[in-house]
Amino acid sequence: MLNSLGSYKLPKPCLFLEAQGSMLKASFIATVGICFLAFQGCQTTSITDEEKAAKIAEAKRLEEEEAKWRSGYLNRIMESERMVWDVLAPLMESAVDYRANETFGYIGAVFVSGLYYPDFLQSEVEAAGYGDHVSVRFVFDGSVAEQAGLEAGDKIVSINGRRVPRGDAATTFALRKMKRLLKPGETNLLEIERAGKQLVIELVPQKAAYYGVVVVPSSDRFIQAEDEAIWISVPLVEALRLKEDLAFVCAYGLSQNVMRHSKKRGQNSFLGSALDLAAAVHGVNLGGLFGSMGQSAYKEGFVIESDVIALFLLASTGYEIEGYPEYWERVMLGGTDREFLGKGEQNRIDLINKVIDAIAEMKAAGETIFPTAYLGGDTSILD
Protein backbone atom coordinates (compact mmCIF):
# COMPACT_ATOMS: atom_id res chain seq x y z
CA MET A 1 0.00 0.00 0.00
CA LEU A 2 1.24 3.45 -0.78
CA ASN A 3 1.87 6.09 1.81
CA SER A 4 -0.03 9.34 1.89
CA LEU A 5 1.15 11.95 -0.56
CA GLY A 6 1.31 14.36 2.32
CA SER A 7 4.89 13.25 2.92
CA TYR A 8 5.67 12.46 -0.70
CA LYS A 9 7.81 9.47 0.16
CA LEU A 10 7.87 6.44 -2.05
CA PRO A 11 5.97 3.51 -0.59
CA LYS A 12 8.51 1.43 1.33
CA PRO A 13 6.65 -1.88 0.97
CA CYS A 14 7.12 -1.59 -2.78
CA LEU A 15 10.83 -2.14 -2.27
CA PHE A 16 10.32 -5.71 -1.17
CA LEU A 17 7.63 -6.98 -3.52
CA GLU A 18 7.99 -9.98 -5.75
CA ALA A 19 8.95 -7.79 -8.67
CA GLN A 20 12.31 -7.32 -7.00
CA GLY A 21 12.69 -11.00 -6.11
CA SER A 22 15.53 -11.74 -8.49
CA MET A 23 17.48 -8.66 -7.41
CA LEU A 24 17.04 -9.40 -3.72
CA LYS A 25 18.07 -13.00 -4.28
CA ALA A 26 21.23 -11.89 -6.05
CA SER A 27 21.92 -9.34 -3.30
CA PHE A 28 21.45 -12.00 -0.63
CA ILE A 29 23.78 -14.42 -2.40
CA ALA A 30 26.39 -11.71 -2.81
CA THR A 31 26.12 -10.73 0.86
CA VAL A 32 26.41 -14.32 2.02
CA GLY A 33 29.40 -14.78 -0.26
CA ILE A 34 31.16 -11.72 1.13
CA CYS A 35 30.45 -12.73 4.73
CA PHE A 36 31.72 -16.21 3.99
CA LEU A 37 34.94 -14.78 2.57
CA ALA A 38 35.40 -12.56 5.60
CA PHE A 39 35.06 -15.57 7.87
CA GLN A 40 37.30 -17.71 5.77
CA GLY A 41 39.90 -14.98 5.72
CA CYS A 42 40.56 -15.81 9.37
CA GLN A 43 41.00 -19.48 8.56
CA THR A 44 44.18 -19.07 6.51
CA THR A 45 45.15 -22.68 6.89
CA SER A 46 41.93 -24.14 5.48
CA ILE A 47 41.69 -22.41 2.11
CA THR A 48 44.19 -21.98 -0.69
CA ASP A 49 44.97 -18.74 -2.45
CA GLU A 50 43.36 -20.13 -5.59
CA GLU A 51 40.14 -20.89 -3.72
CA LYS A 52 40.14 -17.40 -2.21
CA ALA A 53 40.58 -15.85 -5.64
CA ALA A 54 37.75 -17.99 -7.02
CA LYS A 55 35.38 -16.95 -4.24
CA ILE A 56 36.28 -13.28 -4.65
CA ALA A 57 35.70 -13.56 -8.39
CA GLU A 58 32.31 -15.20 -7.81
CA ALA A 59 31.27 -12.50 -5.34
CA LYS A 60 32.32 -9.84 -7.85
CA ARG A 61 30.34 -11.59 -10.58
CA LEU A 62 27.22 -11.61 -8.40
CA GLU A 63 27.68 -7.92 -7.58
CA GLU A 64 27.99 -7.12 -11.28
CA GLU A 65 24.85 -9.12 -12.05
CA GLU A 66 22.99 -7.26 -9.32
CA ALA A 67 24.16 -3.90 -10.66
CA LYS A 68 23.09 -4.94 -14.15
CA TRP A 69 19.68 -5.95 -12.85
CA ARG A 70 19.23 -2.63 -11.00
CA SER A 71 20.18 -0.67 -14.10
CA GLY A 72 17.77 -2.70 -16.18
CA TYR A 73 14.93 -2.20 -13.72
CA LEU A 74 15.47 1.56 -13.64
CA ASN A 75 15.30 1.51 -17.44
CA ARG A 76 11.97 -0.32 -17.19
CA ILE A 77 10.62 2.32 -14.80
CA MET A 78 11.80 5.17 -16.99
CA GLU A 79 10.41 3.56 -20.14
CA SER A 80 7.08 3.15 -18.35
CA GLU A 81 7.24 6.83 -17.41
CA ARG A 82 7.71 7.75 -21.05
CA MET A 83 4.78 5.59 -22.16
CA VAL A 84 2.47 7.08 -19.51
CA TRP A 85 3.41 10.65 -20.27
CA ASP A 86 2.96 10.10 -24.01
CA VAL A 87 -0.75 9.60 -23.38
CA LEU A 88 -1.24 11.70 -20.23
CA ALA A 89 0.26 14.98 -21.42
CA PRO A 90 -2.36 15.62 -24.15
CA LEU A 91 -5.14 14.47 -21.81
CA MET A 92 -4.00 16.93 -19.13
CA GLU A 93 -4.06 19.71 -21.69
CA SER A 94 -7.58 18.70 -22.71
CA ALA A 95 -8.65 18.80 -19.05
CA VAL A 96 -7.94 22.54 -18.79
CA ASP A 97 -10.89 24.42 -17.25
CA TYR A 98 -12.80 21.28 -16.29
CA ARG A 99 -12.40 22.58 -12.77
CA ALA A 100 -10.88 26.00 -12.14
CA ASN A 101 -9.09 24.95 -8.94
CA GLU A 102 -7.51 21.99 -10.78
CA THR A 103 -6.00 24.10 -13.56
CA PHE A 104 -2.35 25.12 -13.17
CA GLY A 105 0.58 26.68 -14.98
CA TYR A 106 1.97 24.25 -17.55
CA ILE A 107 4.99 24.47 -19.85
CA GLY A 108 5.06 21.03 -21.44
CA ALA A 109 7.78 19.68 -19.17
CA VAL A 110 7.82 17.03 -16.44
CA PHE A 111 9.61 17.68 -13.15
CA VAL A 112 10.96 14.98 -10.85
CA SER A 113 13.38 14.43 -7.99
CA GLY A 114 15.51 11.40 -7.24
CA LEU A 115 13.06 10.35 -4.52
CA TYR A 116 10.48 9.61 -7.20
CA TYR A 117 12.42 6.37 -7.58
CA PRO A 118 12.93 3.52 -5.08
CA ASP A 119 15.72 3.53 -2.51
CA PHE A 120 17.50 0.46 -3.88
CA LEU A 121 17.99 2.23 -7.23
CA GLN A 122 19.35 5.51 -5.88
CA SER A 123 22.94 4.93 -7.08
CA GLU A 124 21.65 4.33 -10.62
CA VAL A 125 19.25 7.27 -10.34
CA GLU A 126 22.09 9.59 -9.34
CA ALA A 127 24.24 8.23 -12.18
CA ALA A 128 21.38 9.17 -14.54
CA GLY A 129 21.54 12.75 -13.23
CA TYR A 130 18.55 12.76 -10.86
CA GLY A 131 19.37 13.40 -7.22
CA ASP A 132 17.99 15.31 -4.24
CA HIS A 133 17.02 18.25 -6.44
CA VAL A 134 14.19 19.05 -8.87
CA SER A 135 15.13 18.15 -12.44
CA VAL A 136 13.47 18.20 -15.81
CA ARG A 137 12.55 14.62 -16.80
CA PHE A 138 10.81 15.25 -20.14
CA VAL A 139 10.33 18.16 -22.50
CA PHE A 140 7.54 17.63 -25.03
CA ASP A 141 7.91 18.46 -28.70
CA GLY A 142 6.50 21.85 -29.64
CA SER A 143 5.91 22.83 -26.02
CA VAL A 144 6.54 26.14 -24.32
CA ALA A 145 9.49 24.53 -22.52
CA GLU A 146 11.08 23.30 -25.76
CA GLN A 147 10.65 26.67 -27.46
CA ALA A 148 12.26 28.39 -24.46
CA GLY A 149 15.27 26.05 -24.60
CA LEU A 150 14.63 23.92 -21.52
CA GLU A 151 16.21 20.46 -21.76
CA ALA A 152 15.77 17.11 -20.05
CA GLY A 153 18.26 16.84 -17.19
CA ASP A 154 18.27 20.55 -16.35
CA LYS A 155 18.27 21.20 -12.60
CA ILE A 156 15.77 23.82 -11.43
CA VAL A 157 17.47 26.31 -9.11
CA SER A 158 14.68 28.87 -8.72
CA ILE A 159 11.34 29.83 -10.21
CA ASN A 160 10.31 33.48 -10.32
CA GLY A 161 12.87 34.19 -7.61
CA ARG A 162 11.70 31.37 -5.32
CA ARG A 163 14.56 29.02 -4.47
CA VAL A 164 13.85 25.37 -5.11
CA PRO A 165 14.56 23.18 -2.05
CA ARG A 166 16.60 19.99 -2.00
CA GLY A 167 16.14 16.64 -0.27
CA ASP A 168 12.69 15.41 0.71
CA ALA A 169 11.28 18.91 0.19
CA ALA A 170 12.35 18.76 -3.47
CA THR A 171 9.91 15.91 -4.05
CA THR A 172 7.04 17.85 -2.50
CA PHE A 173 8.05 20.88 -4.54
CA ALA A 174 8.10 18.97 -7.82
CA LEU A 175 4.71 17.37 -7.22
CA ARG A 176 2.80 20.21 -5.63
CA LYS A 177 4.55 23.59 -5.76
CA MET A 178 6.01 23.97 -9.24
CA LYS A 179 2.69 24.07 -11.04
CA ARG A 180 1.32 26.65 -8.60
CA LEU A 181 4.31 28.96 -9.00
CA LEU A 182 4.11 28.92 -12.81
CA LYS A 183 1.86 31.84 -13.77
CA PRO A 184 -0.14 31.22 -16.99
CA GLY A 185 -0.10 34.03 -19.53
CA GLU A 186 2.79 35.86 -17.85
CA THR A 187 6.53 35.86 -18.37
CA ASN A 188 8.10 33.49 -15.86
CA LEU A 189 11.79 33.16 -15.01
CA LEU A 190 13.38 29.76 -14.46
CA GLU A 191 16.94 29.68 -13.15
CA ILE A 192 18.50 26.36 -14.10
CA GLU A 193 21.82 24.55 -13.82
CA ARG A 194 23.12 22.75 -16.88
CA ALA A 195 26.56 21.16 -17.11
CA GLY A 196 27.70 23.18 -14.08
CA LYS A 197 26.55 26.53 -15.54
CA GLN A 198 23.73 28.75 -14.32
CA LEU A 199 21.21 29.89 -16.92
CA VAL A 200 17.99 31.90 -16.80
CA ILE A 201 15.15 30.95 -19.11
CA GLU A 202 12.10 33.09 -19.84
CA LEU A 203 8.83 31.43 -20.77
CA VAL A 204 5.08 32.02 -20.76
CA PRO A 205 3.17 29.03 -19.33
CA GLN A 206 -0.14 27.80 -20.65
CA LYS A 207 -2.83 26.16 -18.54
CA ALA A 208 -3.47 22.46 -17.96
CA ALA A 209 -4.69 20.03 -15.30
CA TYR A 210 -1.12 18.99 -14.50
CA TYR A 211 -0.35 16.24 -11.98
CA GLY A 212 2.85 14.43 -11.17
CA VAL A 213 3.24 10.79 -12.13
CA VAL A 214 5.15 8.23 -10.06
CA VAL A 215 5.81 4.85 -11.65
CA VAL A 216 6.03 2.28 -8.86
CA PRO A 217 7.87 -1.06 -8.77
CA SER A 218 5.33 -3.66 -7.71
CA SER A 219 4.17 -7.19 -8.37
CA ASP A 220 0.60 -5.91 -8.86
CA ARG A 221 -1.09 -4.03 -11.67
CA PHE A 222 -2.70 -0.86 -10.34
CA ILE A 223 -3.24 2.83 -10.79
CA GLN A 224 -3.88 5.03 -7.79
CA ALA A 225 -4.95 8.68 -7.78
CA GLU A 226 -4.26 11.14 -5.01
CA ASP A 227 -5.24 14.77 -5.08
CA GLU A 228 -1.80 15.79 -6.32
CA ALA A 229 -0.41 12.85 -8.28
CA ILE A 230 -1.09 9.66 -10.18
CA TRP A 231 0.70 6.48 -9.12
CA ILE A 232 0.89 3.62 -11.59
CA SER A 233 2.74 0.31 -11.41
CA VAL A 234 5.31 -0.95 -13.89
CA PRO A 235 3.46 -4.26 -14.51
CA LEU A 236 0.25 -2.42 -15.43
CA VAL A 237 2.01 -0.18 -17.95
CA GLU A 238 3.88 -3.11 -19.47
CA ALA A 239 0.68 -5.17 -19.70
CA LEU A 240 -1.13 -2.49 -21.72
CA ARG A 241 0.52 -3.01 -25.09
CA LEU A 242 -1.98 -0.93 -27.05
CA LYS A 243 -1.66 2.82 -26.67
CA GLU A 244 -5.44 3.14 -26.68
CA ASP A 245 -5.77 0.78 -23.71
CA LEU A 246 -3.18 2.74 -21.74
CA ALA A 247 -5.02 5.93 -22.65
CA PHE A 248 -8.31 4.48 -21.35
CA VAL A 249 -6.68 3.64 -17.99
CA CYS A 250 -4.80 6.94 -17.69
CA ALA A 251 -7.87 9.00 -18.62
CA TYR A 252 -9.85 7.16 -15.97
CA GLY A 253 -7.18 7.84 -13.34
CA LEU A 254 -6.78 11.47 -14.40
CA SER A 255 -10.54 11.96 -14.09
CA GLN A 256 -10.36 10.91 -10.46
CA ASN A 257 -7.89 13.71 -9.76
CA VAL A 258 -9.65 16.33 -11.86
CA MET A 259 -12.91 15.67 -10.00
CA ARG A 260 -11.10 15.44 -6.63
CA HIS A 261 -12.64 12.10 -5.71
CA SER A 262 -9.97 11.25 -3.15
CA LYS A 263 -10.64 14.53 -1.35
CA LYS A 264 -14.37 13.92 -1.44
CA ARG A 265 -13.89 10.53 0.12
CA GLY A 266 -11.63 12.06 2.75
CA GLN A 267 -9.04 9.35 2.44
CA ASN A 268 -6.70 7.66 -0.02
CA SER A 269 -8.29 5.14 -2.34
CA PHE A 270 -7.29 2.62 -4.92
CA LEU A 271 -8.65 3.17 -8.37
CA GLY A 272 -7.52 -0.26 -9.43
CA SER A 273 -9.66 -0.82 -12.48
CA ALA A 274 -13.21 -1.48 -13.45
CA LEU A 275 -12.61 -4.90 -11.92
CA ASP A 276 -12.03 -3.57 -8.45
CA LEU A 277 -14.46 -0.70 -8.84
CA ALA A 278 -17.24 -3.08 -9.79
CA ALA A 279 -16.22 -5.38 -6.96
CA ALA A 280 -16.49 -2.51 -4.50
CA VAL A 281 -19.77 -1.20 -5.90
CA HIS A 282 -21.57 -4.46 -6.58
CA GLY A 283 -19.86 -6.97 -4.30
CA VAL A 284 -18.69 -9.19 -7.13
CA ASN A 285 -15.44 -11.16 -6.97
CA LEU A 286 -13.80 -10.44 -10.32
CA GLY A 287 -10.40 -12.01 -9.80
CA GLY A 288 -8.45 -8.85 -8.94
CA LEU A 289 -6.63 -8.49 -12.27
CA PHE A 290 -5.44 -5.03 -11.30
CA GLY A 291 -5.01 -5.79 -7.61
CA SER A 292 -7.23 -5.30 -4.60
CA MET A 293 -8.80 -1.91 -4.08
CA GLY A 294 -8.11 -2.16 -0.38
CA GLN A 295 -11.26 -0.20 0.36
CA SER A 296 -14.94 -1.02 0.06
CA ALA A 297 -16.31 2.50 0.42
CA TYR A 298 -16.25 3.32 -3.27
CA LYS A 299 -19.52 4.81 -4.44
CA GLU A 300 -21.05 4.06 -7.80
CA GLY A 301 -21.35 7.76 -8.55
CA PHE A 302 -17.57 8.14 -8.56
CA VAL A 303 -17.25 5.24 -10.99
CA ILE A 304 -19.74 6.65 -13.44
CA GLU A 305 -18.42 10.19 -13.13
CA SER A 306 -14.91 8.94 -13.88
CA ASP A 307 -16.22 7.26 -17.04
CA VAL A 308 -18.04 10.42 -18.13
CA ILE A 309 -15.02 12.67 -17.68
CA ALA A 310 -12.62 10.11 -19.16
CA LEU A 311 -14.73 9.73 -22.31
CA PHE A 312 -14.91 13.50 -22.86
CA LEU A 313 -11.16 13.84 -22.30
CA LEU A 314 -10.39 11.00 -24.69
CA ALA A 315 -12.77 12.26 -27.39
CA SER A 316 -11.50 15.85 -27.21
CA THR A 317 -7.90 14.58 -27.40
CA GLY A 318 -8.65 12.66 -30.60
CA TYR A 319 -9.04 9.08 -29.38
CA GLU A 320 -11.68 6.76 -30.82
CA ILE A 321 -13.80 6.04 -27.76
CA GLU A 322 -15.92 3.24 -29.23
CA GLY A 323 -13.39 0.74 -27.85
CA TYR A 324 -13.66 2.08 -24.28
CA PRO A 325 -16.59 -0.14 -23.15
CA GLU A 326 -15.13 -3.18 -24.91
CA TYR A 327 -11.85 -2.70 -23.07
CA TRP A 328 -13.50 -2.53 -19.66
CA GLU A 329 -15.66 -5.53 -20.48
CA ARG A 330 -12.50 -7.53 -21.15
CA VAL A 331 -11.05 -6.32 -17.87
CA MET A 332 -14.17 -7.16 -15.86
CA LEU A 333 -14.37 -10.67 -17.29
CA GLY A 334 -10.62 -11.27 -17.15
CA GLY A 335 -9.41 -13.71 -14.52
CA THR A 336 -12.86 -15.29 -14.22
CA ASP A 337 -14.65 -18.18 -15.86
CA ARG A 338 -17.75 -16.09 -16.54
CA GLU A 339 -19.02 -15.44 -20.04
CA PHE A 340 -21.35 -12.57 -19.17
CA LEU A 341 -21.21 -9.42 -17.09
CA GLY A 342 -23.12 -9.07 -13.86
CA LYS A 343 -26.12 -6.77 -13.68
CA GLY A 344 -24.23 -3.90 -12.10
CA GLU A 345 -21.36 -4.27 -14.57
CA GLN A 346 -23.75 -4.29 -17.52
CA ASN A 347 -25.48 -1.19 -16.19
CA ARG A 348 -22.15 0.57 -16.15
CA ILE A 349 -21.39 -0.45 -19.73
CA ASP A 350 -24.86 0.73 -20.79
CA LEU A 351 -24.21 4.15 -19.24
CA ILE A 352 -20.83 4.33 -20.95
CA ASN A 353 -22.50 3.69 -24.30
CA LYS A 354 -25.07 6.43 -23.60
CA VAL A 355 -22.24 8.91 -23.04
CA ILE A 356 -20.51 7.74 -26.23
CA ASP A 357 -23.77 8.30 -28.17
CA ALA A 358 -24.14 11.77 -26.66
CA ILE A 359 -20.59 12.70 -27.65
CA ALA A 360 -21.23 11.40 -31.18
CA GLU A 361 -24.26 13.70 -31.42
CA MET A 362 -22.15 16.65 -30.26
CA LYS A 363 -19.57 15.86 -32.95
CA ALA A 364 -22.25 15.58 -35.63
CA ALA A 365 -23.65 18.95 -34.58
CA GLY A 366 -20.20 20.54 -34.71
CA GLU A 367 -20.24 21.31 -31.00
CA THR A 368 -17.16 21.55 -28.80
CA ILE A 369 -16.51 18.26 -27.01
CA PHE A 370 -16.74 19.53 -23.44
CA PRO A 371 -19.04 18.34 -20.61
CA THR A 372 -20.45 21.79 -19.91
CA ALA A 373 -23.87 20.57 -18.82
CA TYR A 374 -22.53 17.74 -16.68
CA LEU A 375 -20.01 19.96 -14.89
CA GLY A 376 -22.87 22.36 -14.26
CA GLY A 377 -24.84 19.67 -12.47
CA ASP A 378 -27.00 18.43 -15.35
CA THR A 379 -26.77 14.61 -15.42
CA SER A 380 -29.36 14.12 -18.17
CA ILE A 381 -26.58 12.69 -20.35
CA LEU A 382 -26.97 9.55 -18.23
CA ASP A 383 -30.79 9.39 -18.35
Q: What are the pLDDT digits (tens) for 225-236?
A: 876 889 999 999
Predicted pLDDT at 227:
60
Residue 195's Cβ-count burial label (10 Å; 0-12, 13-18, 19+) is: exposed
Q: Do strands 229-233 and 223-225 pair parallel, antiparallel, or not at all (unpaired)? A: antiparallel
In angstroms, rounded to a whole number, what is the distance separating the alpha carbons of residues 127 and 303?
42
Q: What domains does the chain contain, in order, with CATH numbers? A: 1-96+212-383 (no CATH), 104-208 (2.30.42.10)
Predicted pLDDT at 270:
41
Residue range 150-170, pLDDT digits in tens: 999 999 999 999 999 999 899
Residue range 105-130, pLDDT digits in tens: 999 999 999 989 999 999 999 999 99
In angstroms, rounded to a whole number, what is the distance separating the alpha carbons of residues 249 and 36?
48
**CA-based nearest residue to 90, from 135, 133, 141, 127:** 141
